């Protein structure tokens, strides 16, 4: 019979993804050979050290907050290479998954780093190929616009998707740094959206999500970018804010949506939103930091909203 305690390290050594196990104080307890390939750092140089020292690009609020959340019993965390660049090195693009592992009285965190560098390279090659074809045939230029819409816009709501958000986020952040102007970011979540789906069906939920996207677009400026970030979450990029008063005007219009009644297919549904906002340079100097800050404030408001709802039940 196989002794799993002794056999497990051999299994983990064969996995083609980076595996890191760390204790609750972020000390590295395991570092598999694939992590050595991804980082160029040997196992013996990583074990016993704090993960922030071994992987300094993870010494960021978004990572620390995720560690606390997962250790506190929250859902596993996922960080994409598209939103979080250079997590472990300048040459490898990785997606990271974080899970809590409990064995008796011991608790640890399992970090899985999946190398997607080749996927990004292939996507880049494909884009270059499409550009070459478009220069050869004017008809293909029109087709390229169709492809771009599919690549950069959410198919349900028509607003920007994460790829387009990332593209504009980098552009506007660099502009804000050059001009020393203020860049705002709003994180908007539709409260109890699962309840809408469960009560009225997913077809109704899709229609409500389309209405919310339209309301957010109408409430913002033409230069602002409304992005569907997840199932019931939106990000709004607010470039070139001259003052907080500019933000307050936009936020006021969106805030009015919190008590809006939506009439859809004969049903009247109350719309409830939780909103968090962050600003460059006060709340962060990278898009990742601004998203994490706004997400945290949104989560606090969402928690308060649930508490208020329970009081009225």
Would you please indicate which residues are annotated as catalytic (active-site) residues? 232
> How many angstroms from the chain centroid is the CA of residue 21?
23
Yes or no: say if 175 and 181 are a contact pair by the CB < 8 Å rule: yes
In whole angstroms, how far apart are CA 64 and each of 96, 138, 289, 301? Answer: 14, 50, 11, 20
Cis ω for the linkage preceding 281 (within 30 of 0): yes
């Amino acid at each position: 019979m196989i002794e799993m305690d002794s056999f497990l390290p051999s299994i983990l050594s064969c996995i083609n993804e980076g595996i890191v196990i760390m204790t609750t104080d972020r000390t590295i307890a395991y570092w598999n050979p694939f992590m050595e390939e991804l980082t160029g750092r040997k196992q013996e140089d990583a074990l016993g050290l704090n993960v922030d020292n071994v992987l300094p690009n993870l010494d960021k609020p978004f990572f620390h907050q995720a560690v606390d959340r997962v250790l506190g019993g929250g859902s596993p965390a996922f960080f994409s290479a598209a939103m979080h660049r250079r997590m472990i090195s300048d040459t490898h693009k990785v997606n990271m998954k974080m899970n809590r592992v409990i064995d008796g009285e011991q608790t640890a965190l399992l970090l899985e780093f999946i190398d997607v560098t080749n996927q990004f390279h292939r996507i880049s090659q494909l884009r270059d190929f499409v550009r070459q074809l478009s220069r050869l045939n004017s008809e293909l230029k029109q087709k390229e616009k169709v492809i771009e819409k599919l690549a950069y816009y959410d198919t349900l709501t028509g607003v920007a998707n994460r790829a387009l958000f990332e593209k504009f986020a980098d552009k506007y952040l660099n502009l804000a740094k050059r001009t020393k102007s203020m860049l705002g970011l709003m994180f908007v979540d539709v409260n109890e959206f699962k309840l809408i789906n469960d009560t009225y069906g997913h077809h109704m939920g899709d229609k409500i999500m389309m209405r919310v996207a339209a309301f957010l677009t109408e409430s913002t400026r033409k230069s602002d970018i409304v992005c569907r970030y997840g199932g019931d979450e939106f990000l709004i990029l607010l470039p070139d804010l001259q003052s907080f008063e500019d933000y307050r005007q936009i936020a006021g219009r969106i805030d009015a949506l919190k008590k809006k009644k939506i009439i859809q297919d004969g049903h009247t549904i109350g719309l409830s939103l939780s909103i968090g906002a962050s600003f460059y340079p006060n709340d962060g100097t990278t898009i990742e930091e601004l998203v994490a800050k706004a997400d945290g404030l949104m989560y606090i408001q969402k928690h308060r909203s649930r508490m208020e709802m329970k009081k009225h039940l």
